[in-house]
């Protein structure tokens, strides 16, 4: 059973007791992502994620790592376009120690100049690594095409231009704006003790919002169709194309996921069968959905040799046109729904997955649906709802990005 407790300062604690396990997963979710950054701040959310591991007033970076290694725990973090999460998974009897270390990182990081300089170089290498990988770079270029005038179109990692400007003062100002208690959700799943929940409230339930704290506001960005080509000396040409789609709270969300599965989300999908199995045009071909609080996209990616790139494009276009003209079959829809139900249920077997789902649900939706409610929503997906999305999404003009030996 999922329980939500709101502390006096606004921090929400979401807990799910799982008696059958001996571990606990803990996540600190913050409503701070790259799309809330000003242009000159691009990349600072991700940089802060790195810096919270680089030492506090009580622990060095090495001590943080050694303490988690000593208790056999996992410690990590991620930054997305809309939120940041710092998380740990430990044996249940080490959970209070884990949240104490996480709180130390959250509240007491020093952002020492020496560590700032080292981590700037680390993130710079991460940026270079992404740019060196054409299958990553093509998606970054695609976002630039889709949202050229919005933070949603800028890279989560930031750029070599913005990175050197992030000082300790700028980091503290950004955290003062975005890390206030109203923006924080603590999600815990596993064999949870009352003492752990009390410790979480003692650590996070009393800090006050800064006078600089803001409520992030969004102006829904317009999707831009268009094309970008980047010539590189690579063995393969990489193609990514996106269509404007629905936001994460849209009632047709499960229909969208089912449609994605049918088009390119698994090995039995139209694209996988046509592009790889029938024609042998590519080793990698897939589609996926990206959904945010106000906008969403449907993306297709494939890579092939320069000689076969026109045929790959033609096959993708023909597959989509066939779906627009003839729709999908009842068998495809039934298979997609069963696959979706299986993936959903199997994905909840770990404490980490449950912690992540609950934290995201609270942060984004402010409510929690039971497994049975989700399965019922999947069962309710119909030919009508899927056809509605086909007309809405696949008839739009796409954004296209290509990288490789394409000239």
**133: nearest Cα among 281, 238, 277, 59:** 238
Radius of gyration of the chain (CA): 23
Domain 226-404 sits in CATH at 3.30.830.10
Same fold, 2-204 and 226-404: yes
* Close Cβ partners of 29 (under 8 Å, ≥ 6 residues apart): 83, 84, 85, 184, 185, 186, 187, 359, 360, 362, 363
**49: nearest Cα among 166, 136, 206:** 166
Three-point CA angle 305, 308, 314, nearest 5°: 135
Rounded Cα gap, residues 377 and 253, in angstroms: 9
**pTM of the predicted structure, to 2 decimals:** 0.95
Rounded Cα gap, residues 109 and 97, in angstroms: 17
DSSP characters for 310-325? HHHHHHHHHHHHHHHH
Residue-wise pLDDT for 64-116, tens only, equals: 999 999 999 999 999 999 999 999 999 999 999 999 999 999 999 999 999 99
Write down the pLDDT at residue 77: 98
* Range 2-204: architecture per CATH: 2-Layer Sandwich (3.30)
Q: Are 144 and 228 in contact (CB under 8 A)?
A: yes
CA neighbours closer than 13 Å in the CB half-sphere of residue 81: 18
The encoded tokens of residue 193 equal 């003790």
Rounded Cα gap, residues 74 and 355, in angstroms: 14
Write down the pLDDT at residue 317: 97
Q: Give the pLDDT of the chain (407 residues) as one tens digit per residue.
A: 899 999 999 999 999 999 999 999 999 999 999 999 999 999 999 999 999 999 999 999 999 999 999 999 999 999 999 999 999 999 999 999 999 999 999 999 999 999 999 999 999 999 999 999 999 999 999 999 999 999 999 999 999 999 999 999 999 999 999 999 999 999 999 999 999 999 999 999 999 999 999 888 888 999 999 999 999 989 999 999 999 999 999 999 999 999 999 999 999 999 999 999 999 999 999 999 999 999 999 999 999 999 999 999 999 999 999 999 999 999 999 999 999 999 999 988 899 999 999 999 999 999 999 999 999 999 999 999 999 999 999 999 999 999 998 76
Write down the pLDDT at residue 407: 65
The ranges assigned to domains in the chain are 2-204, 226-404
Q: Which residues are catalytic?
A: 49
Q: Are 166 and 116 in contact (CB under 8 A)?
A: yes
């Amino acid at each position: 059973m999922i329980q939500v407790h709101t502390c006096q300062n606004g921090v929400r604690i979401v807990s799910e007791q799982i008696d059958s396990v001996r571990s606990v997963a803990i996540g600190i979710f913050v409503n701070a992502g790259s799309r809330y950054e000003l242009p000159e701040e691009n990349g600072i959310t991700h940089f802060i994620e790195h810096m919270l591991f680089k030492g506090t007033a009580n622990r060095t970076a090495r001590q943080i790592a050694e303490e988690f290694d000593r208790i056999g725990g996992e410690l990590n973090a991620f930054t997305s376009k809309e939120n940041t999460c710092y998380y740990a998974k430990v044996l249940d009897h080490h959970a209070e120690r884990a949240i104490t270390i996480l709180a130390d990182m959250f509240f007491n990081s020093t952002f020492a100049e020496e560590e700032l300089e080292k981590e700037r170089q680390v993130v710079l290498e991460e940026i270079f690594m992404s740019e060196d990988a054409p299958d990553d770079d093509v998606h970054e270029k695609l976002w630039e095409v889709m949202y050229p005038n919005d933070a949603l179109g800028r890279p989560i990692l930031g750029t070599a231009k913005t990175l050197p400007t992030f000082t300790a003062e700028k980091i503290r100002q950004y955290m003062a704006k975005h890390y206030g208690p109203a923006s924080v959700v603590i999600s815990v799943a596993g064999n949870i003790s009352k003492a752990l929940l009390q410790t979480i409230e003692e650590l996070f339930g009393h800090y006050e919002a800064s006078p600089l704290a803001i409520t992030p506001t969004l102006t829904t960005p317009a999707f831009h169709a268009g094309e970008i080509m980047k010539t590189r000396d690579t063995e393969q040409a990489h193609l990514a194309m996106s269509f404007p789609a629905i936001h994460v709270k849209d009632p047709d969300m499960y229909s969208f996921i089912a449609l994605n599965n049918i088009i390119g989300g698994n090995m039995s999908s139209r694209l996988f069968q046509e592009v790889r199995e029938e024609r042998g045009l590519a080793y990698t071909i897939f589609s996926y959905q990206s959904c945010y609080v106000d906008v969403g996209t449907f993306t297709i990616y494939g890579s092939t040799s320069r000689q076969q790139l026109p045929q790959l494009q033609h096959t993708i276009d023909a597959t989509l046109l066939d779906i627009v003209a003839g729709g999908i079959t009842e068998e495809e829809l039934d298979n997609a729904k069963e696959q979706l139900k299986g993936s959903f249920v199997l994905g909840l077997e770990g404490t980490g997955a449950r912690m992540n789902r609950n934290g995201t649900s609270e942060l984004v939706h402010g409510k929690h649906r039971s497994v049975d409610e989700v399965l019922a929503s999947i069962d309710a997906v119909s030919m009508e709802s899927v056809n509605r999305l086909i007309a809405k999404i696949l008839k739009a003009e796409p954004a296209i990005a290509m990288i490789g030996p394409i000239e």
